[in-house]
Amino acid sequence: MPQTLKLAVSQSYTLSTLAATLDSLKATTQEAAREGVDLILFPEAYLGGYPRTCNFGAAVGARSDEGREQFFQYFKSAVDLGDTPRGAGDEWVDRELEVGKGQEYRGDGTREYLERVARETGVFIVTGLTEKSGGSLYCSVVYVCPRLGCIGKRRKVMPTGSERLVWAQGSPSTLRAVTTTIKGVKLTMAAAICWENYMPLLRYSLYSQNVNLYLAPTADARDAWLSLMRTVGCEGRTFVLSANMCTKRKHLPDWITGKKSTEVSNVSKSGSTASRSHARRRSTLTVTAEKHELVLPTAEQATNGNTSLADSLSEIAIADGPNSAADEEYVCRGGSCIIGPQGDVLKGPLWEVEDGGLLIVDADFEDCERGRLDLDVAGSYSRNDAFHLEVDGLDLDPPQ
C-alpha cells in the first residue's frame, strides 16, 4: 500500500478577533480539503496572536500602566482550552477534568470548534495558539484529529527574548510525540516551536521518539530559518512543515499600534472637530514611516494648558490612517516552507504572500525509512553507549 499523504502549510495571519481568525482557519481548512490535503499546519500563536513589535511598557526594573493595559488586552484575546496551569496532559486530552456547574464544556469553546472543523473536513489540524490558563499565557500547539478530536497539546518550554515577559514556560513532558494513522500511513509527529528548534537537545528529544513528521510553527522570518529547517529534515530523516505569518503593520491589533489612542469622531467637511472621545486614555508609543519613535501623550495630558497640541495629535491620528506607508510595511515577511527527509526543499520559502498562501506536497513516508540507511541520529548513528539524554518527565521511547 502506498505510504503517501498530502501535507499542507498555511501562511495565515491573525485577524482582529478570535472569532474571525477561527472562521479564517475553517475556510482555509475547507480549501485544503478540496485539494485533498490530509494534514495542515498553521503558524505559531495563530489563534490569540503573536504580539509582534510590542514591548508591553517594560524595561529592566520598570513596568508602565500602558504596558499592563496592553497585556490585559492580549490576555483577553488568548484562547482558553480548559487546561490547568500545571498542564493536565492525558486528563485534558481524555476530558477527565471537572466541568463547572451549568457549563457544557471547559474553556471558551475553541477546542470544540477545532474538533468540529477537523471532523467536518476530514483534515488533521495542527495549529499554534496563545493559550491562557489561570493568570498566565502559554505559547502552545494543539493536534486535532478528524476522528478522535484533540489527541495532544504542548506548550513552548523556552520562550525567546521578550516573549519571556508575557509567556510562561511549558513543561518538557509536553514534548511527547503523538501518533495517528491516516489512510493506512502511521504518523509519529511532534512540534518544536520557533527558536526551540535552535536547542540541539530538544531536537534530539524529538528524534529519539522516531518522528517522521516534524512540525515547526514559527515567528522567525530570517533568511537563516530555511537552513535550519533543512538541517532538521536531513538530521532527523523526517518531513518538516514550517508555517509563519506574513504580516503588515496594518494587521497588528490597535492595542499594539495605538491607532485608536486619540479618537476623533464627527469631523465636519470644513475640518473643525464637533466632538471628541474623552474616554480614559494613556500615552502611547508609535513608530513613524521614517522609523522614528514618538511618545504621544493622552488628550487630557495634551490639553493641560495646551489645547493646540491636542488638536495636533488628532491631526496626526487622522493622517496616520489605514492607507499610510507605514501601514503597508511588512513586520514579518513569512517564509513558510516544506522540507523532505534528505533536507531538500519541497515547497517554499514563501515570502511576502499574505493570508491565502497555501503550500501543498505529496509526501512518501517510506522515504524517511530509506534515509535511515546511513543516518539514524537516535539509533545506529547515536553511539548511545557513550552519549545519553534524559529529559525530566518525558519518555523518549518511540510511542506506539
Is residue 140 within 8 Å of 126, Cβ to Cβ? no
Using alpha carbons only, give the angle 233, 28, 328 rounded to the nearest 5 degrees: 85
Given 44, 131, 163, 235, which residue is catalytic? 44
Q: Which of 72, 206, 205 is nearest to 132 (CA)?
A: 72
Is residue 303 within 8 Å of 310, Cβ to Cβ? yes
Is residue 107 within 8 Å of 95, Cβ to Cβ? no
How far are the Cα atoms of 55, 90, 137, 216, 273 from residue 164, in angstroms, in the given order?
11, 26, 10, 19, 43
Region for residue 368 given its phi and psi (left: phi exceeds 0; alpha: psi -120 to 50; beta: otherwise)? alpha
Task: List 284's β-bridge partners, or say none.
Answer: 296
Asked about 156 being catalytic, the answer comes back as yes
Asked about 234 being catalytic, the answer comes back as no
> Which grid coordinates belong to 91?
486528563
Is residue 147 within 8 Å of 121, Cβ to Cβ? no
Asked about 139 being catalytic, the answer comes back as no
3-class SS of residue 117: helix
CA–CA gap between residue 336 and residue 44 (Å, rounded):
11
Residues 6+ apart with CB under 8 A from 329: 248, 249, 289
3-class SS of residue 232: helix
Task: List 142's β-bridge partners, or say none.
Answer: 127, 153
Given 54, 194, 332, 368, which residue is catalytic? 194
End-to-end Cα, the chain, rounded Å? 20
Given 6, 132, 153, 156, which residue is catalytic? 156
Strands 330-339 and 239-242: antiparallel
Q: What residue type is 72 in one-letter code?
A: F
Half-sphere exposure of 95 (CA within 13 A, CB side): 11
CA–CA gap between residue 397 and residue 92 (Å, rounded):
22
Is residue 389 within 8 Å of 396, Cβ to Cβ? yes
CA–CA gap between residue 139 and residue 119 (Å, rounded):
25
What's the Rg (C-alpha) of the chain? Answer: 23
If one counts every other C-beta atom within 10 angstroms of the C-beta of residue 1, the result is: 6
Which residues are catalytic, by number?
A: 44, 156, 194
